[in-house]
């Protein structure tokens, strides 16, 4: 197979793995690793060393640099004060406990040297949001557990990578120099170079962004080029300092005053998916079955130690004095999959250590991949059952996030509540939320796309968004924000308050908005008038004895809104997809004051 075709195949299979993962709600890393193993060790179709040649190490290094920079952009200094003591403990003393136990287990069970064992322990402290988030969507633990696991994954990613980078640099300078004083000097120079390059370039980039010297259209390109340059420059000045430089650069940008990195972060998240997809297939294709078989049951033993000793002890120490029940602590202790940063960083470190002739370095990558596959497979297959056994799983639901508190949205939320469907009404006006709170509905006071909501608003129970406020532009903004969370087909907005013949001038394009609800003539103002005239939202069941067509005949003035199908899925009436309820569905509709449902 030609090199050109191989590169195209890697991209196509990477997309296929991400698509399959989104469909079955499992971490994509599992499918990427299995694909790489099939292409490499199993069939011999892909040989990364032959395909990339001398560019293999730069490709891996730059990919890891982008991944670490993206993770560092999420690390804000106010997080550790807002996410609670358990999480602060898990990313501080918990990291030490986990790293030490894994290091000791690796040394005695696998036989690696103490230096390599401690390096492996440092690498294995990270979990990462890219493996935690898909698992939480499937497991659906209660919000307290979900918050802890989510924030642990976000915060520990750059922290764990930073610790691993520093420890790796310590090993390299000891291996390449003689004399204890020289080791400290080289190590200090490596750390100092990474810090200075990261701080200088990060600060200069932040100033350019703050003062709007870079056109917004070039923000993403500028960030990518600067990250790659920062890594290359730092690593050229002092070997192995590049990863530290990009991590520091990301952390600085995330915490600079009046520097907005949301668009850059969104771009980096998308770019990270691309890099991850190709990187993991390439890394898995380089796995040596001989090295895997040489480790054998030792890797499985390390996995057991991590799952049943290191993780529970870390959680037990971190949750001392908290109000979490033992069931909640047990659930947190069960979920801790290793993922992208662990695999990518271990690959970079192993390549470099092998170049330096470090004995045993060839075992780091297969051991890391065995742990990653083991934790992802074990926890993905069992976590939902464990959550149900511990009685900490949320019930199966298809909740709705509602933007805008007004009589129409409140009536919808009340109707959903009657059918045991969870909803949350969000509004920035405290008075507007009063009626919803008095009705006993769940509310959020604030902008659902704000930083505060990102830290405190748990959207795990919700699968769709309804933009029902009076401001169409605000609905569109929220739809655009949550398209990535719910999918483009699960965000809906009301038509703007314009006449149908002028609608095309005021409605946002589909890719920048959501699906238009109910019809172009049914706007916020039209529903407001109907409700003021005495209309209300009613529910009826559509079945073989009372068809949807029969309902339309009996209710000529009614407006069909949506239905809940027998399996719990919700189907909404939109301008492009007329409602077609299946037998057994619950139909929600607006009934004018003079309408009476036929018996």
Which tens digits make up the pLDDT trace of 454-479? Answer: 656 777 678 888 888 888 888 888 88
Q: Is-contact 338 371, C-beta < 8 A?
A: yes
Pair of tokens at residue 539:
């529910």
Domains assigned to the chain: 3-389 (1.20.1530.20), 399-591 (3.40.50.720)
Query: Is the four-CA dihedral 303, 305, 308, 313 of positive or negative sign?
Result: negative
Which tens digits make up the pLDDT trace of 45-74? Answer: 999 889 998 888 888 888 878 877 876 776
323 pLDDT exceeds 50?
Answer: yes
Query: Is the four-CA dihedral 440, 442, 447, 453 of positive or negative sign?
Result: positive
Q: If 0-12 CB within 10 Å is exposed, 13-18 middle and 19+ buried, where does residue 133 land?
A: middle
Length of the chain: 599
Q: State the Cα torsion 467-145-22-512 to the nearest 10°.
A: 20
Q: State the Cα torsion 167-245-28-305 to the nearest 10°.
A: 10
Which tens digits make up the pLDDT trace of 377-405? Answer: 888 888 888 998 998 887 665 688 999 89
pTM of the model: 0.65
Edge-first strand order for the sheet with 462-467 is 443-445, 423-427, 399-403, 462-467, 491-493, 515-516
Considering the chain, what percentage of its residues have pLDDT values greater than 70? 88
pLDDT at 303: 92
CA distance 319 to 297: 32
pLDDT at 283: 80
pLDDT at 39: 92
Average pLDDT, the chain: 82
pLDDT at 102: 94
């Amino acid at each position: 197979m030609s090199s050109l075709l191989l590169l195209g195949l890697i991209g196509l299979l990477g997309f296929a793995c991400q698509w399959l993962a989104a469909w079955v709600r499992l971490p994509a890393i599992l499918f990427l690793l299995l694909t790489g193993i099939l292409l490499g060790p199993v069939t011999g179709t892909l040989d990364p060393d032959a395909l990339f040649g001398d560019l293999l190490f730069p490709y891996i290094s730059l990919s890891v640099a982008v991944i670490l920079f993206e993770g560092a952009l999420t690390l804000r200094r106010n997080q550790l004060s807002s996410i609670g003591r358990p999480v602060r403990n898990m990313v501080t003393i918990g990291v030490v406990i986990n790293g030490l136990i894994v290091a000791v287990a690796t040394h005695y069970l696998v036989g690696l040297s103490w230096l390599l064992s401690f390096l492996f322990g440092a690498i294995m402290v990270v979990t990462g949001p890219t493996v935690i988030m898909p698992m939480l969507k499937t497991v659906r633990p209660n919000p307290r557990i979900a918050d802890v696991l989510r924030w642990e994954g976000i915060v520990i990613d750059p922290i764990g990578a930073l610790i691993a980078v520093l420890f790796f640099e310590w090993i390299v300078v000891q291996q390449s120099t003689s004399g204890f004083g020289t080791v400290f000097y080289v190590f200090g120079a490596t750390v100092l170079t990474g810090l200075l390059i990261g701080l200088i370039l990060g600060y200069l980039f932040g100033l350019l962004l703050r003062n709007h010297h870079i056109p917004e259209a070039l923000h993403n390109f500028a960030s990518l080029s600067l990250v790659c340059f920062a890594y290359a420059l730092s690593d050229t000045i002092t070997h192995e300092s590049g990863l530290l430089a990009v991590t520091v650069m990301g952390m600085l940008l995330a915490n600079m005053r009046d520097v907005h990195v949301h668009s850059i972060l969104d771009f980096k998240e998308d770019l990270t998916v691309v890099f991850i997809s190709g990187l993991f297939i390439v890394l898995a294709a380089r796995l040596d079955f001989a090295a895997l078989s040489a480790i054998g049951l030792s890797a499985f033993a390390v996995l057991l130690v991590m799952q049943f000793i290191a993780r529970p002890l870390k959680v037990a120490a971190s949750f001392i004095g908290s109000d979490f029940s033992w069931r909640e602590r047990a659930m947190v202790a069960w979920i801790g999959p290793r993922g992208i940063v662990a695999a990518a960083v271990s690959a970079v470190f192993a390549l470099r250590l092998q170049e330096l002739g470090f004995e045993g370095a060839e075992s780091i990558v297969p051991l890391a991949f065995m742990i990653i596959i083991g934790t992802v497979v074990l926890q993905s297959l069992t976590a939902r059952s464990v959550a149900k056994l511990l009685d900490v799983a949320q019930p199966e639901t298809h909740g709705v996030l509602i933007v805008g508190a007004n009589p129409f949205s409140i009536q919808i939320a009340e109707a959903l509540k009657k059918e045991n469907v969870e909803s949350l009404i969000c509004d920035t006006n405290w008075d507007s939320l009063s009626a919803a709170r008095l009705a006993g509905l769940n509310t959020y006071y604030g902008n659902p796309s704000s930083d505060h909501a990102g830290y405190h608003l748990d959207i795990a129970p919700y699968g769709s968004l309804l933009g029902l406020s009076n401001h169409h532009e605000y609905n569109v903004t929220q739809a655009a924000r949550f398209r990535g969370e719910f999918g483009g087909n699960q965000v809906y907005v009301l038509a703007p308050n314009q006449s149908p013949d002028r609608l095309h001038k005021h409605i946002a394009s589909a890719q920048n908005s959501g699906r238009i609800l109910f019809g172009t003539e049914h706007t916020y103002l039209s529903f407001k008038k109907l409700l003021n005239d005495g209309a209300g939202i009613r529910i009826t069941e559509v079945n073989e004895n009372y068809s949807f067509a029969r309902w339309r005949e009996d209710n000529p003035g009614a407006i069909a809104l949506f239905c809940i199908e027998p399996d719990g899925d919700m189907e909404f009436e939109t301008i492009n997809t007329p409602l077609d309820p299946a037998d057994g569905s619950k139909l929600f509709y607006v009934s004018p004051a003079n309408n009476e449902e036929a018996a």
